[in-house]
A and B are shown apart, each in its own frame.
Chain A
Amino acid sequence: MHLLFIFVVFLPISGACSVDADCSGSLGQCMAGSCQCNLPWSGPSCATLEASSLPAAAAPDNGGLYRDPKGFWTWTASPVQDDEGVWHAYIDRFTANCGVLHYCSNGEIVHAVSTSGSPLGPFAFRMLPWGLQAQAPLTVVPCRTLMPCVCLTAATQSSTLALPCLEVQWCTPTAHRSTTPTWAVAPRGASLWRSLPRHPVPGCALQCRCLGLALLTLAAGTFLTCPTPPPCSSPMTAVW
């Protein structure tokens, strides 16, 4: 009598892959049918930044990333490194001791510098570079041939996209120069950014260095004294 051997191959239910792209694009390599993840990624498909495996970050009561000299609440921190290796951060904070939900009315951008040489700070206040109500900065480093530019997107009360652009040039280690924002309003259904006009700063261009490009979201409204609630509840129309 012959014994019938049945071989059953068990593949892992999770983490199965056939090509590297199955490991969240490029966050691991597919080996023997499962993802071998690159640090700092983990999980079956390498899509997890496991909190328990992360090294400790500076606690906020130890200064954290940035301690505002006025004690204001802070929020987004967007880092960018200049040509000399110094890390700069554009951080939004909320005036008048307001909280984060006052981002529409009390947000402003702080420029801070890390003297430690680390992108994780601690960052020290340098200046208010633009004097504008704005929030949610995002720095983008383009190719070095582009001038730095600050683009502001606005939450409008109508069915339009209002997208001003403010070009900022980095003239000295301690000073920004900026121009008045010019608004480019795109009708509903038009392309996202119809135009982003540029306005060179007189007398500044030759000395300017390309630091990067910062994108901010700007919300209409006036500065409030807390605890007045912000006038930010008007809904916008979907853009797709």
Chain B
Amino acid sequence: MSNPAPLFLPNDGGVVMLYKGRGKGQLVGAAWAPALEGPWSRGAEPQPFGTGVEDPWLWLDKRTSVLHALFHQGAGSGASWGGAHAFSLNSGRSWNFTGPAYSGKMAWSNGTTTVLARRERPQGVTDANGTLVALLNAAQACLPKEDWGGACRSFSIGMPLPGSA
């Protein structure tokens, strides 16, 4: 188990958490607890996110009480989809996977554009209503031959989203 992504539900509704489990394969599961200290329980079956997602991050739309999640999806290479989205209408007990949400293509403030080789670890910032106003990711513009040194150094990125102040 890794990538734990808990969210405190309002009105003492406990905690819902998405997490990654790895074994012969890789899947994202959901768990619930009355408090962070537990006791935790989880669904009998894997949630419908598929095998290609990881790095979940949750937020609550406070106007509608709908839970949302973003994931890193796929290999994250080239212009293929880098992130996926899911939502839950019942406080995280069951999820609806809507699929790809954003790609690895980034337009920078200096006017250049990069198709990232890796765009992972989505984490967002929401306003008081639970509207997503910014998105942060871990990124890598290219894949080096060796995983060290100065070439293709990874970095952290963040972007404001349309509609944000």
Contacts and interface: CB of A to CB of B under 8 A. Distances in A.
Interface of A: 20-21, 24-27, 38-40, 45, 47-62, 64-66, 73-79, 91, 94, 96-102, 119-121, 136, 138, 140-143, 146, 149, 151, 153, 155, 161, 163, 191-196, 213, 215, 217, 226-227, 229, 235-240
Contacts of A61: 110
Contacts of B153: 73, 99
Given A26-B61, A57-B159, 13 more contacts: A59-B108, A60-B141, A66-B155, A75-B156, A76-B138, A77-B138, A78-B123, A96-B148, A120-B136, A138-B3, A227-B149, A235-B22, A240-B45
Given A54-B107, A138-B123, A101 B156 contact: no
A193 B33 contact: yes
Contact of B125 (A21, A45, A79, A215): A79
B28 to A, nearest CB: 11
A57 B157 contact: yes
B38 A49 contact: no
B21 A239 contact: yes
5 contacts: A51-B102, A62-B108, A193-B36, A227-B147, A239-B29
A112 B66 CA distance: 31
A138 B8 contact: no
B144 interface: yes
A79 B123 contact: yes
A76 B98 contact: no
Interface string B48-91: 00000001010001011011100000000000000101011100
Contact of B8 (A25, A101, A140): A140
Given A55-B162, A100-B118, A194-B38, A60 B157 contact: yes
Contacts of A51: 102-103, 105-107
Contacts, number: 262
Nearest to B149: A97
User: Which of A49, A61, A74 has most chain B Cβ within 10 Å?
Assistant: A49
Contact of A217 (B3, B85, B96): B3
Contacts of B118: 100
Nearest to B118: A100
Interface residues of B, number: 91
Given A40-B132, A76-B138, A64 B155 contact: yes
Interface in B112-160: 112, 114, 118, 120-121, 123, 125, 131-132, 134-136, 138-141, 144, 146-150, 152-160
Contact of A226 (B106, B140, B148): B148
Contacts of A77: 121, 123, 136, 138, 156, 158
A11 to B, nearest CB: 20
Contacts of A213: 36
Nearest to B33: A193
Given A47-B98, A226-B149, A215 B4 contact: yes
B158 A136 contact: no
A233 to B, nearest CB: 12
A25 B23 contact: no
B47 to A, nearest CB: 10
